[in-house]
């Protein structure tokens, strides 16, 4: 149960700067014109609590078509959220964020994403829903969440969400290089302004290193064979070439099972390029740290490696890192900072049928203890 109110703060207002976001840009999203065009309403207004804004017909929001996963369950986790700032650390197209703001009239949004295309789409979607004036968007990597929150002068947040991985549009835009479905350069960076690309890795990493990346990041049984085939076929020219190499490296009988044969290798490379598993524990600990007493953190993960990290960080906070033997009273002085929140762990069959991306989703949530001190 949430007992403490959290500081609310003034949101930034200013011109929309869609499409051109320098690092760490603050985007204020408040285009009433877009909202009216998309909803047919006469002027922007706050929506009654719990009702979703009508943006389905908005061309701007359709430009980033990503259905938010386990939305009903996320809204349930945050149903008792006090007034204050909701932190969406993986804003994407703001699908979850728009629904959370619509359900909580006195909550403002601090949205973070490292992808400038996602931030532009989120700004559009928030504008179209008439919620832009309550949103501050920041381009940042989520492991810096502590600094971002502090930089905004917020202190603590009323709730925080991580919806991990990539969004549907990142997969669907060929030139991002995430997908084996379209031929494109092997990029896979969510933040295209820095870092190594998937092409750099497949064309220069040692065979053993490649095999380790593929095995560790995707549990691929044939990682060794795939790494050998990649090295033998260098230079790898693009996504289609890589998909062909991987397919040919996998035994014919296995190729016909479990989706596209290159799916796991592409996932493994994406995780490596974006350092997803290294960053995650740092980010989650930082997010738990900025939760107000009674505030909740919800995390949606999409593969076992991610879920293991989420579970372990949450357990560490739940036990305070206690090292005493199970069943014995704690004598090591550990101080728990959160309690686990019971929630549905997986998407319903109906949602999975409608949105296949939801099939691998796992939801975990914790609540900061009222006694926890920052
Ligand atoms: C699954 S999408 C989120 C979709 C969003 N919940 C919605 O409903 O529209 C994940 C987003 O997180 C972003 N992301 C992934 N890793 C990140 C990181 N380390 N720092 C900041 N953003 C990240 C991606 O760029 C992507 O836009």
Final residue before a domain boundary, out of 273, 290, 309: 273
Same-domain pairing of 306 and 287: yes
CATH number of the domain bearing residue 228 = 1.10.150.170
pLDDT at residue 5 greater than cutoff 70: no
Same domain assignment for residues 228 and 210:
yes
Q: How many domains does the chain fold into?
A: 2
Shared-domain flag, residues 129 and 56 = yes
Q: Does 240 or 191 have the greater pLDDT score?
A: 240
Q: Pick the last residue of a domain from 273, 306, 331.
A: 273
CATH number of the domain at 66, please. Answer: 3.40.50.150
Same domain for 109 and 228?
no
pLDDT tens digit sequence for 164-216: 988 887 888 888 999 998 899 999 999 888 899 999 999 999 999 999 999 99
Say yes or no: 241 and 267 in one domain.
yes
For ligand 1, atom 5: residue with the closest CA: 92
pLDDT category of residue 64 using cuts at 50, 70 and 90: low
Is there a single domain that holds both residue 159 and residue 262?
Answer: no
Return the minimum-mean-pLDDT range out of 34-38, 222-226, 285-289, 304-308. 34-38
Mutate to test the pocket of ligand 1, among 62, 73, 90 (most ligand atoms within 8 A of CB): 90
Residue 181 domain flag: no
* 113 CA from centroid of ligand 1 (Å): 6
Confidence at residue 90, expressed as pLDDT on a 0 to 100 scale? 98
305 in the same domain as 158: yes
Contact 94, 1 (CB under 8 A): no
Residue ranges making up the domain that contains 230: 193-273
Asked whether residue 3 is domain-assigned, the answer is: no
Residue 4 has pLDDT above 80, yes or no: no
> Which contacts (CB < 8 Å, 24+ apart) does range 72-77 have?
73/343, 73/344, 73/347, 73/363, 74/99, 74/100, 74/161, 74/298, 74/300, 74/363, 75/99, 75/100, 75/103, 76/343, 77/296, 77/298, 77/341, 77/343, 77/363, 77/365
Q: How confident is the model at residue 371 (pLDDT cuts 50, 70, 90)?
A: confident
Residue 2 falls within a domain, yes or no?
A: no
Whether residue 182 lies inside any domain: the answer is: no
The reply to whether 19 falls in a domain is no
| CB environment 223-242: b (16+ within 10 A), e (fewer) | bbbbbebbbebeebebbebb
What was the pLDDT predicted at 113? 96
Domain boundary (231, 247, 273) is at 273
**In which band, very low, low, confident or very high, does the pLDDT at 63 lie, cut at 50, 70 and 90?**
low
**Statement to judge: residues 157 and 201 lie in one domain:** no
Give the per-residue pLDDT at 219.
Answer: 86
Burial 126-140 (b: 16+ CB within 10 A, else e): bbbbbbbbbbbbbbb
Higher pLDDT, 110 or 33: 110
- Distance separating alpha carbons of residues 200 and 169, to the nearest angstrom: 23
Instruction: Give 340's strand partners.
Output: 366
Ligand 1: residue whose CA is nearest its atom 12: 90
Residue 70 within a domain: yes
Euclidean distance between CA atoms 15 and 77, whole angstroms: 33
Q: Is 148 in the pocket of ligand 1 (CB under 6 A)?
A: no
pTM of the model: 0.83
Judgement on whether residues 118 and 210 belong to the same structural domain of the protein = no
**Do 262 and 323 share a structural domain?**
no
Q: How far is the CA of 256 from the centre of ligand 1 (A)?
A: 31
Establish if 187 belongs to a structural domain: no
344: its two tokens: 């549905």
* Res. 65: pLDDT tops 80: no
pLDDT in tens, 9-56: 333 332 222 322 333 344 433 332 222 222 223 333 233 333 333 333
Whether residue 333 is contained in a domain is answered as yes
Pocket test for ligand 1, best of 92, 94, 143 (most atoms within 8 A of CB): 92
Beta-carbon count within 10 A of 51 CB: 10
Pair (286, 259) in one structural domain: no
Do 146 and 58 lie in one domain? The reply is: yes
Percent over 70 (pLDDT), the chain? 82
């Amino acid at each position: 149960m949430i007992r403490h109110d959290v500081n609310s703060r003034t949101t930034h207002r200013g011109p929309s700067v869609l499409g051109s976001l320098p690092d760490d840009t603050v985007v204020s999203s408040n285009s009433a014109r877009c909202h009216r065009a998309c909803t047919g309403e006469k002027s922007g207004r706050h929506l009654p609590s719990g009702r979703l804004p009508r943006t389905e017909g908005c061309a701007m929001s359709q430009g980033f078509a990503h259905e938010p996963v386990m939305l009903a369950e996320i809204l349930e986790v945050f149903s008792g959220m006090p007034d204050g700032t909701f932190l969406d650390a993986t804003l994407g197209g703001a699908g979850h964020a728009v629904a959370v703001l619509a359900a909580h009239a006195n909550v403002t949004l601090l949205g973070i994403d490292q992808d400038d295309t996602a931030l532009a789409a989120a700004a559009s979607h928030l504008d179209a829903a008439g919620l832009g004036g309550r949103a501050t968007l920041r381009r940042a990597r989520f492991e810096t969440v502590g600094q971002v929150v502090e930089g905004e002068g917020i202190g603590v947040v009323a709730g925080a969400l991580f919806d991990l991985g990539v969004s549907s549009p990142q997969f669907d835009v060929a030139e991002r290089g995430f997908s084996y479905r379209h031929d494109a350069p092997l990029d896979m960076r969510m933040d295209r302004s820095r870092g190594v690309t998937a092409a750099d890795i497949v064309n220069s990493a040692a065979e053993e290193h490649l095999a380790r990346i593929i095995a560790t990041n995707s549990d691929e049984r044939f990682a060794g064979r795939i790494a050998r085939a990649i090295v033998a076929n260098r230079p790898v020219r693009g996504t289609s070439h890589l998909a062909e190499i991987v397919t040919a490296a996998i035994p014919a009988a296995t190729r016909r099972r479990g989706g596209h044969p290159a799916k796991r290798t592409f996932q493994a490379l994406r995780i490596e390029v974006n350092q997803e598993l290294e960053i995650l524990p740092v980010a989650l600990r930082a997010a738990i740290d900025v939760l107000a007493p009674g505030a909740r953190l919800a995390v949606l993960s999409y593969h076992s490696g991610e879920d293991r990290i989420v579970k372990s960080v949450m357990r560490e906070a739940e036990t305070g890192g206690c090292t005493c033997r199970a069943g014995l009273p704690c004598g090591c002085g550990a101080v728990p900072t959160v309690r686990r929140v019971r929630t549905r762990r997986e998407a319903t069959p109906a949602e999975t049928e409608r949105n296949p991306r939801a099939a691998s989703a796992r939801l975990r949530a914790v609540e900061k203890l009222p006694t926890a001190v920052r």
